[in-house]
Structure 1
Amino acid sequence: MSALQVHPCGRYRHNTVVFILAKEYNLKNLRTIHRLDRLTSGLLLFGRTPKKARSMEHQIRNRQVQKEYVCRVEGDFPNEIIECQEPIEVVSYKIGVCKVSPKGKTCTTTFQKLGFNGKTSIISCKPHTGRMHQIRVHLQYLGYPVVNDPLYNHTVFGPEKGRGGNIGKTDEELIRDLINIHNAENWLGMDGDSELSMFKPLKGDLDDGKVGNETCLADEDGDMSREASPCEEPCENDVQPEPSPVVVMPSRTKVTVATQTGHEVPDLTFNSDKMTTDQHCYECKVRYRDPKPKDLVMYLHAWKYQGPGWSYETELPEWARVDWTEDD
């Protein structure tokens, strides 16, 4: 799975993974067991019954489940097995960013190189805890960030991109710069009221375990976590996107999940009579830019999950071939 909301929450209600599985494959009443970061592909587990879901959740919380990911990182990763035990602290739940910090919670990830193509390395990642963005933050700290990580492979963390924990700025400065950088990269724009921002603090938003209108969920170690924002980075709202051209296609009598998942041609005819806005509604004011295909994939893949008496494994993506290059 990649770039889809797992279940309805916060600002997402329609076309989630749970919704698609119910409509397209008649898999109804699935129970969410865990989630992946928005740009992470790979294995996603659901429970068919409440009893099974609770059993697997219990196994995850008690660290009875072994997880293995693969990713492509910058540079020639060391040949020996690397175990990173640096504690991770959440800098901001609001924009979803973490860093290695002595004030953080303990966590451990084991890394092993699988191959090197002369420029980037494919590595196996085994997280032994479940901190927010754990693999990505540990790789950033080691100096081998995921090749196309839009957040942790960025000079906003300093000229060395946060290697060795060397950021060189306060948390407040980091958050400010992340917002400004993201704003310049034009992920979303805003109509009208600039005071309506999803990244302006809401009263008690961190005290009561909520992020905006989203309720945070605890990971297996008790950390508070939440689904990543649409860009995995902060989004301030100054830039106005160019309106997308209207594509007129033959009208359809019904819009289904199949039209939204590419199984059928959707009806893209624009009918202005159906367009309504509310001047007080935040969602009505936001204009999203359509992301490019490369913006919807990060070279981090949930490969294998194994627990007491069970195991699941996915096929590896093309970019995980040792000899794969960006030109492919």
Structure 2
Amino acid sequence: MLQNNLGFVVNPFTKEYVAKVVGEFPETEVIVEKPLKLIEPRLALNAVCQMDEKGAKHAKTVFNRISYDGKTSIVKCKPLTGRSHQIRVHLQYLGHPIANDPIYSNDEVWGNNLGKGGQADFDIVITKLDEIGKRKPAKSWFHSNGGYGEVLRQEKCSICESDLYTDPGPNDLDLWLHAYLYESTETEEGTEKKKWCYKTEYPEWALRR
């Protein structure tokens, strides 16, 4: 780990992701530098906040649109810090949450604006999220699931007495956020070549035809 002159921790490598998001993302590069904090540990719920709030952590993400199909956009995401749910929350803040995100693109939880601008009554959000996977199946902007998804069966395992659940639905199994590049920020001596780089292919959902 390294530190920059502002005291922020800087990793000696960069990561890049690709995401499929709601709506028409701007064509020009978008940089979000908004602090995040953990709202509810039990639900792993995070949100944009002010830097002077308790628990606030600096977060910065760079976004570039790759394509748009009339309903969703494919976006390259480069987090410059490594906060929990950082990309997901910053995309929601912009009004373009990941299209099948059961936490941050669920209109039953966030309302019609899907939490754009970080505006929400978090007491209500927590109450509604707490029902997902128990009484209600996961839902997102893309997948309504039609009532199909993992919920409590009101039965217990005959051996260990653990709660039993129904089979998961599409929104329980996939998230359109894919890490495709890990690259060193350091170069080999006397060259511009990175010391190391690991790259994979884009997933099927990110390929436009």
TM-score scaled to structure 2, two decimals?
Answer: 0.77
Alignment-mate amino acid for residue 63 of structure 2: F
Task: Give yes or no for contact 1:186–1:239 (8 Å, CA) kept in 2.
Answer: no
- Match of residue 177 from structure 2: 300
Q: How many residues align?
A: 178
Give the Cα–Cα distance (whole angstroms) in 2 for the partners of residues 90 and 112 of structure 1. Answer: 26
Question: CA 1:293–1:108 in 2, change beyond 3 Å: closer, same or farther?
Answer: same
The answer for the alignment partner of 1:272 in structure 2 is none
Tell me if the contact between 2:154 and 2:163 (Cα under 8 Å) persists in the aligned partners: no
Quote the RMSD (CA, aligned, Å).
Answer: 2.4
8 Å contact 1:109–1:128 — kept in the other structure? yes
CA distance in 2, matches of 1:276, 1:76: 50
The match for 1:320 is 206
Counterpart position of 2:130 = 179
Q: Structure 1 residue aligned with 2:114, among 139, 143, 161?
A: 161
Query: What SS does structure 2 have at the residue aligned with 1:183?
Result: coil
Amino acid at match of 1:289: T
Change (3 A) 1:165 1:70: same
- Once the two structures are superposed, residues 154-204 of structure 1 have per-residue CA deviations (whole angstroms, 9 ceiling, x without a partner) of 12123311101121x1x33321221134433247xxxxxxxxxxxxxxxxx
Structure 2: distance between partners of 1:186 and 1:107: 31
Distance 1:78 1:305, change over 3 A: same
CA distance in 1, matches of 2:208, 2:65: 10
Identical columns (%):
38
Q: Aligned with 1:177: secondary structure?
A: helix
Offset, 1:242:
8.5
Q: 1:81 corresponds to which letter in structure 2? A: E
Q: Any gaps of 5 or more consecutive residues in structure 2?
A: 3-8, 139-150, 187-194
Partners of 2:17 and 2:72 lie apart in 1 by: 16
Partner of residue 120 from structure 1, selected from 67, 72, 80:
72
Residues 278-320 of structure 1, C-alpha deviation per residue, up to 9 Å, x if partnerless? 5xxxxx2310222134531111100100013111001111111
CA distance in 2, matches of 1:174, 1:298: 20
Once the two structures are superposed, the pairs formed by residues 13-52 of structure 1 within 5 Å of their partners are none
1:240 correspondence with 2:191: no
- Which of these two proteins has the greater Rg computed from alpha carbons? 1
Structure 1: gaps (5+ residues): 1-57, 188-237, 244-274, 279-283, 324-328
1:56-205 map, 5 Å: 58=1, 62-102=10-50, 103=53, 104-155=56-107, 156-167=109-120, 169=121, 171-186=122-137
Residue 84 of structure 1 and its aligned partner are, at CA, apart by: 0.3
* Mean CA deviation greater in 132-141 or 291-300: 291-300
Q: Indicate the residue corresponding to 2:197 in structure 1.
A: 311
Structure 2: how far apart are the matches of 1:129 and 1:94?
Answer: 23
Q: CA deviation at 1:276?
A: 5.8
What TM-score does the superposition give when structure 1 sets the normalisation length?
0.50
Q: Following the alignment from structure 1 to structure 2, what is the Cα–Cα distance between the partners of residues 117 and 242?
A: 44
Sort the Cα spacing of 1:287 and 1:186 in 2 relative to 1 into closer, same or farther, 3 A. Answer: farther
Paired residues for 1:239-318 under 5 Å: 239-240=152-153, 277-278=159-160, 284-307=161-184, 308=186, 309-318=195-204
Change (3 A) 1:288 1:117: same
Query: In 2, distance between residues paired with 1:107 and 1:66?
Result: 14
SS of structure 1 residue aligned to 2:126? helix
Letter paired with 1:144: H
